Structure 1
Amino acid sequence: MSVKMRANKQSGATIKDVASAAGVSAMTVSRVLNAEPNVRPATRERVQSAIRDLNYRPNLSARNLARANAYFIGLLYDNPSAGYISELLIGALNRCRTSGYHLVLESCDAAGADWSNQIADMLRTSNFDGVIMPPPVCDHADVLAAVDAAGIPYVRIAPDTDLDRAPCILTDDRAAARRMTDYLIELGHTRIGFVLGPQEHGASRERHAGFLEGLSAHGLESEPELIAEGAFTYKSGLEAAEKLLSLADRPTAIFASNDDMAVAVIALAHKHALDVPRDLTVVGFDDTQTATAIWPQLTTVRQPISDMSSAAIELLASHLDGDAGALARREIRSEIVVRDSSAAPTG
């Protein structure tokens, strides 16, 4: 008996068991498993809790009864930005729906105890046809080793290292950050604060590098007091903004390396009675939905996140279909979107 068959029998839980434990219908459990958007957050959490408690794993082997190429694709993620994950899901879900594939989400919590073994166990019992991995999971050595050991094809989204390891979708984080820095300097800003993302995240390092390149190209130096630590979360953005806005000689512009932190900077600027953009220009990166849900609307780098996840699904499917001519990598360019949060410095 195979490992996969033993694992399924040992678990014993069915989708009906999960539905009963969560107090919902089996259809609702199915919607949660397939990451469909029309489920209330509280209901989704109840179902996910029941899945964890029962150690339920969907029996994906029945997929061939429905459709020969109805691939089951796993999305392995560990990213603190809710906006980024939402955009990622939009692209992946839309592409899967139009192609008849099924998407299953799996969280990789690198901070959890024994997480690498849990990921390995999950992959051995998942029956995934393939997986896609956004950052920073796509650069986690333990996750990559586990996927390789399970023999599951995969596509990496915006990897930072070992680009020839597997098919990947790339973006121009460094060049885009350089262009945004150029934009701020061309507006007349020379004292620019920068909010870092987590340093283990390749995109964060690339965006910081692009910022530094932009300063250097215009003969400006990076001042340590103008660099603030962040973690791609709203809370960390508030803490970084407090540091930068409390300086005796505060910056006239702040470039946050993602939108969640940029929105936090704007919120704290309002608390300090600073007008954005008259007193302080604020720009971000990603162009998630939050960028247009605030006032003033955020000038940011539009990273085509949903396009990237959609392209990852398409690239993975091509390899699963045995397309010998499928590309090994594809690059999708970002662009600057100018809105109301940026202007020339006054005074």
Structure 2
Amino acid sequence: MRTPRDRGVPGAGGTSTINDVARLAGVSIKTVSRVMNNEPNVRPETRDKVQEAATLLHYRPNLLARSLAGARSFLIGLFYDNPNAAYITDMQRGVITRAREQGYHLLIEPQDSHAPDLVSKISSLLATIRLDGVILTPPLCDMAVVLHAIEAAGVPYVRVSPFLNPGRSPCVRMDETQAAYEMTRHLIAMGHKDIGFIRGHPEHGGSHQRYEGFVRALRESQIEPRPEWVKQGYFSYESGVEAGRALFAEKTRPTAVFSSNDYMAFGVMASAQQVGIRIPEDVSITGFDDVPGAMLVWPHVTTIRQPVEALAYAAADILLTRQEGEEGECAPQAPDRLLPFALIERQSVRKA
């Protein structure tokens, strides 16, 4: 097969331009631009010719040029304040996967939700960098001042797992209350009636939803939660250790402990082992999220698998699907998306 250089194709010997692709495909520059931007209303055969020409010429659209040529920047932002490294890694992976399908790039912006200049920083960022959309994770997604700043800038946004004002914007989530309910029912089905609970960070809405599911499952089985067996955690390993020490120092101990995330479950396991409490022979321990570490500790942790990467992909999909509409068109709000979870049974639980 003859190469573009053999055919004397302009641009084949150096850096190719959009003009070279248009000439080789026999179409207009505007058509090439529409294909490169994944815009609708291009005939399949025309799209195929343009993509073949771009491949032959090794053409890659220039992000700055694309941005200057239209109303889009081809950038979406991910704003987060979360110490869970596995959560953030999965969130980034999901957004990037969907963004690349559409020719977009991701701007990652960690934030401090307690910083006094949080709002001014976000407002300044949005004024400086033109983003086509923003994805917010807890707790930022539930902060009214953050939402107002983004709305004032006129930037579309999608929230991941919001707790407050669910109808304010499109959102993606899993049913955290139901997930915690099913985990508690699992422990009850294994014969456990004396169940402790480690609450998550109070500023995260999911913490309250998980505790709600826990309490509902207990009460449906005529079991009242015991306040001395409910300890406050902060979604960190250290807070799990501290909560576990307090729990195991009680005169009577539960036969099972449900931690609101896996990192706290690891901490509870460490505190149990420090005082000679065996897992699962003396106490069963469960977590929530299914981070990679759940398979690295022993015993492996029974947990709820939260579809973080899929949530991120769905959030990016909502933003990018909105961008597919014609420029200037007022797009209706996308429906919320509810994704499934899974209860993963491992070796940290045994029958009471």
Q: TM-score range, shorter-chain basis? A: 0.7 to 0.9
Larger radius of gyration: 2
What do residues 168-219 of structure 1 show as CA deviations (whole Å, max 9, x unaligned)? Answer: 1021000110000000011011111100011121100000000000110000
Give the CA deviation at 1:64.
Answer: 2.8
Find out whether 1:188 has 2:197 as its counterpart: no
Q: Which amino acid is the alignment partner of residue 337 of structure 1?
A: I
How far apart in 2 are the matches of 1:216 and 1:68? 55
Match of residue 43 from structure 1 = none
- Counterpart for residue 162 of structure 2: 159
Q: Deviations over 1:43-93 (max 9, x none)?
A: xxxxxxxxxxxxxxxxx8555379997720100001122222222222122
Q: CA deviation at 1:325?
A: 7.4
Task: Give 1:94 shift.
Answer: 2.3
| Structural mapping, 1:111-260, within 5 Å | 111-260=114-263
Q: Indicate whether 1:95 and 2:98 are aligned.
A: yes
- 1:63-82 counterparts in 2 under 5 A? 63-64=66-67, 71-82=74-85
Question: 2:20 is matched with which residue?
Answer: none
What is the match of residue 294 of structure 2? 291
TM-superposed deviation, 1:225: 0.2
Please give the TM-score of this superposition, normalised by the length of structure 1: 0.78
Q: 2: CA distance between counterparts of 1:70 and 1:111?
A: 30
Residue 253 to residue 216, structure 1, CA distance change in 2 (3 Å): same
Counterpart of 2:349 in 1: which secondary structure?
A: coil
Partners of 2:238 and 2:267 within 8 A in 1: yes
1:99-110 residue pairs with structure 2 within 5 A?
99-110=102-113
Runs of 4 or more off by more than 3 Å in structure 1? 60-63, 65-70, 323-327
Rounded to whole Å, the distance in 2 between the matches of 1:66 and 1:94 is 25
Counterpart of 1:27? none
CA deviations over 1:223-275 (Å, ceiling 9, x no partner) = 11000000111111111111111112111111000111111111222222222
Q: Deviations over 1:124-174 (max 9, x none)?
A: 212111011111111111110110011101111111121111111021000
CA distance in 2, matches of 1:267, 1:104: 37
Amino acid at match of 2:337: R
Residue in 2 that maps onto 1:335: 342
Asked if structure 1 preserves the Cα contact closer than 8 Å seen for 2:136 and 2:157, the reply is: yes
Conserved? CA contact 1:169–1:312, under 8 Å:
yes
**Is the Cα–Cα contact under 8 Å of residues 76 and 132 in structure 2 kept in the other structure?**
yes
Q: Which residue pairs with 2:285 in the alignment?
A: 282
Aligned length: 286
SS for the counterpart of 2:167 is coil
Q: Which amino acid aligns with 1:256?
A: S
* Aligned equivalents of 2:292, 2:72: Cα separation in 1: 33
Equivalent residue, structure 2, for 1:304 = 307
Whether contact under 8 Å (2:200, 2:207) holds in the other structure is yes
CA contact (8 A) 2:138 2:204 kept: yes
CA distance in 1, matches of 2:70, 2:301: 44
Q: CA 1:67 to 1:296, structure 2 compared with 1: closer, same or farther past 3 Å? A: farther
The Cα RMSD (Å) is: 2.0
Q: Which runs of 5+ in 1 are unaligned?
A: 1-59
TM-score, normalization by structure 2: 0.77
Q: Which stretch of the first structure deviates more once superposed, 108-117 or 150-159?
A: 108-117
Q: 1:225 to 1:321 in 2, by over 3 A?
A: same
SS at match of 1:151: coil
Q: Distance in 2 between matches of 1:326 and 1:141?
A: 19
